[in-house]
Structure 1
Amino acid sequence: MQSKQLCTTAFDIRQQRSVCLLAQLYLIQVTEADVGQTGVTNSAQQQSADWFYEDFPGGTVGGTTMTSGGLGYKVYHNLWYQNERYFAVEDNATLHDPSAAPLKTELTINMWTMRLPVTSAPLYYQNLKTGWVRGTTLIVDFPFAAFPDNMGHWAEVLLPAYSVLSQGAWKHSVRNGTGFVDSLLLVNLRRAQLQGVHWVWAMLKLTVEPALPPGLEMPRLLFYDELEVLDKAMWLGFQNALVINDRYVHEHGKGGFASTELGQRFRERAYAASGVQQPQPWQLGGAPRTITLLTAVGGEQVENRGALTAALQDIGIALGMKVRPFSITTGASFPSYVAAMARTGVLISRHGPLLANTMFLPPGAVVLELLPYNWEWRGVSEIYVNITRSIGDIHHFAWRAKHPRWAAYYDVDEARYADWTAEECSSRHCLEVHARAGMMADAATIQELLLDVLPAVYRGENVSALAQPWPKGAVKSGNTGLWWDK
């Protein structure tokens, strides 16, 4: 019996961090005699199955393989979960399967698969205590489980999922499937984390709607709660595990919808599901003549909000528009978000989770996003413009703070990051400092930008004709100012 050690990264649900798992994997020659010697029996076959899994079908199940859907998704066949780890059981048959794509060990940003080589997968399974999740399971890995009410991160996950499920190519990649998503597994969240977050539940329903049979609102819904209570010796198999590539694992870091048609269809379904009337005329140039200054209650702050509001009121007087300051919490109902966007022609907000709702703005609406100083980790500043671009009929501009004078740091200790460049500010602490810092907005420049573009917007000019380059981060010379750089 040969052995080797593998070190792979996995996500520790309880600690909310990545860990290195050291596993001793054996090339096992399993025989019928081995089954008798171990005395391991399949208790899932001896008793009634738990509510979400059933008896393992046994010898008809081979090793783990993967079908690639290009950049959009991947389907793992016979994927295994055991004690907070995922395994791909690979035997001679699966390793030499010409129809299978090369197996990717990175499931998602937080999940990795450990490759478990055996001689015969069907014989190996006979040594295990097993359960089986039949059909197609959509696995959703929320990228930052510590912030389950963050709408921006949900949009990063759900909009690509809606696109793939709507396009339907995934149905040809599953094996012995029903043509529908049978289960939805929120793999790193607990039910309690989503209590009272109505926006998320509504978005989940809209996302999976294209993959459900008529009349069904949601598939079987599973959380980490279900995995946590499994016997630690239990191996849970998934017949088809559908994993959709979000921007963190997408080869080009792509976010938003796959096409403008899908983005606009999702918006229409959101209005219908919310019971909100679409403003008329529903076309370029027809957006409401209302400027909404959006602020999260207890969230990201614009310190000179008064000066910014005054500048917007001057625009309102000049162009015959209303100015509406609007604050809302993440616990508000889904229809309230859609209704607020339906009444908005120009939306102004500091970069933050609430901007995920720009997907509900009417055609021809304008977004002016205020980007904080040093906010550029892994393309984070473009999360929301990627959404509006993928819808195609929303104008999206930005003003970026390029100097620390536009940042109001919490205290002197945090102000030490003022001289760091955007490239240097990639650590968790530096990013949290700039997320927490207050922001000063250049009200005069913002006013000038809006007065320049709004007349053309309300004439119905095309989005591409008015588009401006996305503002780049500050490019600073020198060093961090810390002792080792002096």
Structure 2
Amino acid sequence: MVPKRLKKSLAEMHAAAPALFVSVLLGIFSKSLASPIQINWFYDSLPCKGVSSTRIHQEGLDFTVYHSLWWHNKRFYAVLDGSNKDEALSPAISMNTGIMGLPVKDAQLYYDNLMAGWVPGTSLLLDLAFPAFPDNMGHWMEALLPVYNVLEQGLWKSALPEGSGFIDNIVFVNLRRDNLADLDWVWEMIKLALAPALPPNKDMPRILFYEELDHMDKASWLGLEAVLVATDRYSGHAPLVQQCTCLSLAPRYGREDGLNGFFEAEVGRKFREAAFNNHGLQPPAAGNLPRTITLLSAVQGEECAWLQVVNREELMGALQDIGHTLGLAVRPYTATARAPFESYLSVMARTGVLVSRHGPLLANSIFLPPGAVVMELLPYNWEWKGISKIYVNLTRSLGDIHHIAWRATHPKWALYGSADHARYAEWTPEECNSRDCLEVHAAAAMRVDTATVQEMLMQMVPGAMRGESVRSLRQPWPELALAKGNTGLWWDK
């Protein structure tokens, strides 16, 4: 028989069990909130002390450094506790990457209650402006040359703690690993761009792709000690400006000059030389221009947005006439974005005159020998945010490459894929800035005025072969022109 006193104790314990169980669970849960998440390969546990609220250092139009930047559930956050009232926060870090301000009373107290990891060191954030085209060499040049310029100039180091002079991580915020599989050209260009900020004998820092961020527990936070963002043509820091008692957004996206290229000619030539040296190749030297005309084309079907020149054989004949007159060899070169980087270097080094339709492959024109000539063929109505000049900006920033262009100024030079596409034929360049119109003109095949192209080259190439300066032979860039007259299309008849 159980004594009455023991019966009473057991009954009290039984009644208190649910409350005790809940109390234990709450204790475990609260402890887990204040504890770091399980350490993964790319982050450490959150330091107990010394993590500040988010601070932002902006250096003109060139770059921005974010200290204590946070990632949580597909978005970046700036934790703002009011300790720096002059802090300016843009709604976007880069073209495709937004940021939200998170006001808190005490940043350290807030961190103490997070389930969080920590990425130490300096991380370079790379946002490819058009991630749907991860093999587009032109867009990669627009992303990587601003990075190279910033790292080479070195001012970014002044925004970091003393001794933090290297890039420790790359964060691809909108690309997955499989996006860059087999893209040797892209990886070699990334190595070249990051070289000024890497320790000796190291060609690549730790790499984080979007899947690393996306696969984190949705309740967890990831802090990045310092994040460097170089300003490209499309994205920039748009600060909040105080007006009366309210905050308003000062809209400014991208570099105001719209230019892309090397900030100094010598820096660009150093980049070119490093590309050849990295592969054990002799960098092309001035004064010995190869006597070869190369007609560069993308593999048909490889890049559907950059179709062929339909009168390519006629163009080839015009180039052969030039070659016969001037004693130059003529060769076609058809390439793919997945060709080895070294093959592009080899072809460019042996080219004195490069002829190509405007397209991603022209990014390799920076590897041409000093004094070489580029003839760029611009499709009809191809203009948006200065996009027709992205390759001439590259070569002109080197200062030792002649670059001219023929522009199609009438729809007769465009071959549309369908009657629906042909409806855009008479749109003005100012009107053709929608996605649909741009994609139609990017996909349209083009016909080239070979007589005019031949005449332009005959005016340029002899002087270039004699070693005349880029300045003395420079020609104005062809302006956009409005189409006039009958197009021959059914609605004009």
Structure-2-length-normalised TM-score: 0.86
Specify the alignment match of 2:261 in structure 1. 256
Question: How far has the Cα of 1:104 moved from its partner?
Answer: 2.8
1:156 aligns to what SS in structure 2? helix
Hey, what's the Cα distance between the residues in 1 that align with 2:340 and 2:233?
27
Counterpart contact for 1:80–1:237, Cα < 8 Å: yes
Question: How far has the Cα of 1:278 moved from its partner?
Answer: 3.0
Cα 1:387/1:44, change in 2 over 3 Å: farther
Deviation track 1:29-82 (CA, whole Å, cap 9, x = no partner) reads xxxxxxx99954456945651111111113311211111122211100111111
Specify the alignment match of 2:248 in structure 1. none
Question: How far has the Cα of 1:322 moved from its partner?
Answer: 0.5
Hey, what's the Cα distance between the residues in 1 that align with 2:426 and 2:231?
35
Deviation track 1:154-182 (CA, whole Å, cap 9, x = no partner) reads 00010111111111111111236531000
Specify the alignment match of 1:483 in structure 2. none
Hey, what's the Cα distance between the residues in 1 that align with 2:106 and 2:259?
39
1:332 aligns to what SS in structure 2? coil
Hey, what's the Cα distance between the residues in 2 that align with 1:254 and 1:406?
28
| Aligned mate of 1:247, from 217, 223, 233 | 233
Supply the AA of the counterpart residue of 1:269. A
| Aligned mate of 2:328, from 321, 326, 334 | 321
Counterpart contact for 2:124–2:228, Cα < 8 Å: yes
Gaps of 5+ in 2: 1-25, 235-253, 488-493
Cα 1:223/1:65, change in 2 over 3 Å: same
Hey, what's the Cα distance between the residues in 1 that align with 2:222 and 2:36?
16
Question: How far has the Cα of 1:276 moved from its partner?
Answer: 2.3
Specify the alignment match of 2:289 in structure 1. 287
Question: How far has the Cα of 1:286 moved from its partner?
Answer: 2.6
Report matched runs for 1:306-455 at 5 Å. 306-455=313-462
Specify the alignment match of 1:78 in structure 2. 68
Gaps of 5+ in 1: 1-35, 481-486
Specify the alignment match of 2:143 in structure 1. 157
1:448 aligns to what SS in structure 2? helix
Hey, what's the Cα distance between the residues in 1 that align with 2:381 and 2:28?
59
Supply the AA of the counterpart residue of 1:49. I
Matched, 1:55 2:34: no
Supply the AA of the counterpart residue of 1:80. W
Specify the alignment match of 1:32 in structure 2. none
2:78 aligns to what SS in structure 1? strand
Counterpart contact for 2:127–2:173, Cα < 8 Å: yes
Identity %: 54
Counterpart contact for 1:62–1:94, Cα < 8 Å: no
Counterpart contact for 2:63–2:150, Cα < 8 Å: yes
Give the total of aligned pairs.
439
Deviation track 1:100-145 (CA, whole Å, cap 9, x = no partner) reads 6x33332111112111111111112222211111110000001111
2:229 aligns to what SS in structure 1? strand
Specify the alignment match of 1:65 in structure 2. 55
RMSD: 2.1
Hey, what's the Cα distance between the residues in 2 that align with 1:258 and 1:415?
40
Hey, what's the Cα distance between the residues in 2 that align with 1:394 and 1:223?
36
Counterpart contact for 1:274–1:338, Cα < 8 Å: no
| Aligned mate of 2:178, from 155, 168, 192 | 192
Supply the AA of the counterpart residue of 2:83. A
Specify the alignment match of 2:279 in structure 1. 274
Supply the AA of the counterpart residue of 1:345. G
Hey, what's the Cα distance between the residues in 2 that align with 1:410 and 1:237?
49
Specify the alignment match of 1:229 in structure 2. 215
Hey, what's the Cα distance between the residues in 2 that align with 1:142 and 1:47?
30
Supply the AA of the counterpart residue of 2:347. A
Specify the alignment match of 1:9 in structure 2. none
Supply the AA of the counterpart residue of 1:198. D
Counterpart contact for 2:126–2:229, Cα < 8 Å: yes
Question: How far has the Cα of 1:86 moved from its partner?
Answer: 0.8
Counterpart contact for 2:35–2:114, Cα < 8 Å: no
Question: How far has the Cα of 1:466 moved from its partner?
Answer: 1.1
Supply the AA of the counterpart residue of 2:210. Y
Structure-1-length-normalised TM-score: 0.87
Cα 1:451/1:46, change in 2 over 3 Å: closer
Supply the AA of the counterpart residue of 2:84. T
Counterpart contact for 2:123–2:228, Cα < 8 Å: yes
Counterpart contact for 2:345–2:367, Cα < 8 Å: yes
Counterpart contact for 1:66–1:74, Cα < 8 Å: yes
Supply the AA of the counterpart residue of 2:187. W
Hey, what's the Cα distance between the residues in 2 that align with 1:375 and 1:38?
62
